[in-house]
Amino acid sequence: MSTPIFTPTNEPYLGRELLFQFDNLISSCLELNTKCAPASHNRPLSRLQRALCILVPQTITLALSVRELIRQGYLFGAKVLMRPVTERAVTILYLFRNPGALQIWDDGWKHNRRPNLQAMVEYLNKELLQDKFQTVKGFAHDLNSATHGDPLSAQWNAVLGADGVPVFPVSKNLCSPQLADEICAEVIPWLAATMGIMAPHLAKRPPQDPTDACKPARYVLRSFMPGRKLAAPRALSTNGLARKSSARLGLNWLERGDIALARVLLSL
């Protein structure tokens, strides 16, 4: 029995608000990339810029992969990809905030020397958010669970059968809109954070005030940390101040907000 191949006009979760926001953010991200990528060619690059040239395209590619998996109904696969998406975005923020770590990156980012994901998030909570959250313990737990396949990972691969008994599908999941929302709510902030770093650091004309570069990243981290679950799209808020950068990119940099970056688009 063949499975359907969905298109943008008939995909199973079409019309979900968070998915719509994810699509808009992707469009803005790809537009931004058409300006940032050429600006990184044929000129000397800093150590951070060289790292970004590796990490930024990977983060965007993984986010696009998540989007296509959602379109085709492979929600568990999309959930599993959230770990590599998150780790790359967090690494970008970590290297930006902690230039001393660039030597570890240049030396190969070896497992026995680089900080793990949990350690990087704890560092960013302290140095970028000034300990806004009393604790970020357990930040990577769900990400690790989905990736490594422990018993808890079953929650993302279970649906109710016709008789009301939970079953574990082996193909497309077309009946879990809440899970689709959850995945979108997770990927949106990290893609936005990546955009917030790539704009000032890979564009031809960076902002005059170097402290501006951390504002979008700070907003995202404040908006999406452990313990802040999204019950429904209406729970989102856009209480953010926005301003345009001086890099002619039209990128809205959000300085403050609440709960998650889902209604907020980094539009060009």
What is the model's pTM? 0.78
Tell me the sheet residues that pair with 254.
242
* Confidence at residue 14, expressed as pLDDT on a 0 to 100 scale: 96
Question: What DSSP element (H or E) covers 125?
Answer: helix 117-127
Mean pLDDT of all residues in 232-253: 26
Helix (H, G, I), strand (E, B) or coil at 56: helix
The tens digit of pLDDT for each residue in 117-162 reads 999 999 999 998 888 888 899 999 999 999 999 999 999 999 988 8
pLDDT above 80: residue 174: yes
Looking at per-residue pLDDT, the higher value among 89 and 261 belongs to: 89
Contacts of 128 (CB under 8 A, 6+ apart): 93, 97, 214, 217, 218, 221
* Confidence at residue 165, expressed as pLDDT on a 0 to 100 scale: 86
* Confidence at residue 229, expressed as pLDDT on a 0 to 100 scale: 39
Number of H helices, E strands in the chain: 9, 4
Helix (H, G, I), strand (E, B) or coil at 171: coil
d(CA 187, CA 177): 16
d(CA 121, CA 137): 9
Widest Cα–Cα separation across the chain: 63
Tell me the sheet residues that pair with 166.
160
Q: In this structure, are strands 252-254 and 242-244 parallel, antiparallel, or unpaired?
A: antiparallel
Contacts of 188 (CB under 8 A, 6+ apart): 18, 21, 22, 25, 260, 261, 262
DSSP characters for 73-114?
A: T-HHHHHHTHHHHHHHHHHHHHHHH-GGGHHHHHTT--TTTS
pLDDT above 50: residue 58: yes
pLDDT above 80: residue 18: yes
The tens digit of pLDDT for each residue in 191-231 reads 999 999 998 898 755 444 444 445 544 544 444 444 433 33
| Residue burial 70-108, b: 16+ Cβ < 10 Å; e: rest | bbbbbbbbbbbbbbbbbbbbbbbbbbbbbeebbeebeee
Mean pLDDT of all residues in 65-82: 98
Give, to the nearest 10 degrees, the angle between helix 82-97 and helix 141-148. 140
Q: What are the φ/ψ torsions at residue 128 (nearest 5 degrees)? A: -100, -35
Please, are residues 256 and 237 in contact by the beta-carbon 8 Å criterion?
A: no
* Percent of residues, the chain, with pLDDT higher than 70: 75
